[in-house]
């Protein structure tokens, strides 16, 4: 669905404050995958998210979305229908004072007939578990509920890929869990491709594949076994997921634990065994 080849991106090129945000990044996101993109602040994660849907163009290298180059301006509309991005702050993503109008904003801009818009709004709100709030106002909702409305707004466009750029960062643990539950369900049941940008390793542990970014370069990637590579994770300025950290320290003390352990349930299972 998304392919980057040797991508370099430079902010303010030629100016005194020139900054190379990405250097020679090659990566791909397959259809139906749930990928976590992790890295310290400033490692280039948001720059990648903006490249994914053609908000910015690479300085060199190529970004291809479902076969379309993001530098092909005639394809930009289709690219943005294909890759939907949810950002960090839900308050900046609300455009209307009634929830259903807010969620309808995207499909309206696609010029869809009103019956289909209404259907999509229904489906999107149901998908995030906010169906009964359709006629309500977003302003009194909790952070987690607001972010779910923002996700519904992107869902209503029916993108094939959903990119969440630290979309849980401003939420409390309950709100984070609500959003993660919705995202995992969309990936598993609706087969939506998900790219989850996060610095919460416990969220990254829910993904099928993890890509670690460090100083604008891919420092490593792999399945959950990547959390066995403590040096890699820590050199990227990150922490292991809590369950993986406890498992690593128990193993160092000689406790035998079977299998990959990244989730609390897996740690509990291994300890019981």
Q: Going residue by residue from 93 to 112, which x/- string records binding to ligand ADP, judged by CB under 6 A?
A: --------------------
| Least distance between ligand ADP and beta carbon 233 (Å) | 15
Encoding tokens for residue 155?
Answer: 């869902």
Q: Which of 41, 113, 252, 272 binds ligand ADP (CB under 6 A)?
A: 41
Look up tokens 């369900």; give the residue: 185
43 in contact with ligand ADP (CB under 6 A): yes
* Residues from 14 through 33 that contact ligand ADP (CB under 6 A): 19, 21
| Least distance between ligand ADP and beta carbon 167 (Å) | 12
245 in contact with ligand ADP (CB under 6 A): no
Residues 79 and 65: beta-carbon distance below 8 Å: yes
Q: Which of 46, 93, 145, 193 binds ligand ADP (CB under 6 A)?
A: 46
Question: By CB under 5 A, how many residues form the interface with Mg ion?
Answer: 2
| Least distance between ligand ADP and beta carbon 48 (Å) | 7
| Least distance between Mg ion and beta carbon 107 (Å) | 27
* Residues from 21 through 80 that contact Mg ion (CB under 5 A): 45-46
CA distances from 92 to 7, 155, 239 (A): 29, 17, 29
- 3-state DSSP: the chain helix, strand, coil percent, rounded to 5? 45, 20, 35
Quote the CA–CA distance of 54 and 43 in Å, as a whole number: 19
Residues 167 and 179: beta-carbon distance below 8 Å: yes
| Least distance between ligand ADP and beta carbon 46 (Å) | 3
Quote the CA–CA distance of 210 and 94 in Å, as a whole number: 30
11 in contact with ligand ADP (CB under 6 A): yes
| Least distance between ligand ADP and beta carbon 21 (Å) | 4
Return the closest-CA partner of residue 31 out of 210, 124, 159: 159
CA distances from 154 to 127, 128, 130, 202, 226 (A): 12, 11, 14, 24, 31
Binding site partner of 11, from ligand ADP, Mg ion, none, Cβ cut-off 5-8 A by kind: ligand ADP
For ligand ADP, the binding residues (CB under 6 A) are 11-12, 19, 21, 39, 41-47
């Amino acid at each position: 669905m998304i392919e980057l080849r040797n991508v370099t991106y430079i902010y303010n090129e030629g100016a005194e404050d020139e900054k190379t945000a990405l250097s020679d990044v090659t990566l791909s996101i397959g259809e139906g995958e749930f990928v976590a993109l992790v890295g310290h602040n400033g490692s280039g994660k948001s720059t990648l998210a903006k490249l994914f849907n053609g908000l910015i163009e690479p300085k060199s290298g190529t970004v291809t979305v479902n076969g379309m180059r993001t530098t092909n301006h005639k394809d930009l509309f289709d690219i943005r229908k294909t890759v939907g991005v949810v950002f960090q702050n839900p308050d900046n993503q609300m455009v209307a004072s009634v929830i259903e109008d807010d969620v309808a904003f995207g499909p309206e801009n696609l010029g869809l007939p009103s019956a289909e818009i209404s259907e999509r709004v229904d489906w999107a709100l149901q998908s995030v578990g906010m169906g009964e709030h359709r006629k309500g106002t977003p302003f009194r909702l909790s952070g987690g509920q607001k972010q779910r409305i923002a996700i519904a707004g992107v869902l209503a466009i029916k993108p094939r890929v959903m990119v969440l750029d630290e979309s849980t960062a401003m939420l409390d643990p309950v709100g984070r869990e609500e959003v993660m539950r919705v995202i995992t369900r969309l990936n598993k049941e609706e087969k939506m491709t998900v790219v989850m940008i996060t610095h919460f390793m416990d969220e990254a542990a829910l993904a099928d594949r993890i890509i670690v970014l460090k100083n604008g370069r891919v420092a490593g990637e792999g399945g959950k076994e990547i959390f066995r590579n403590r040096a890699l994770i820590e050199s990227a300025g990150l922490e292991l997921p809590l369950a993986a950290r406890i498992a690593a320290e128990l193993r160092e003390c000689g406790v035998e634990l079977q299998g990959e352990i990244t989730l609390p349930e897996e740690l509990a299972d291994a300890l019981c065994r």
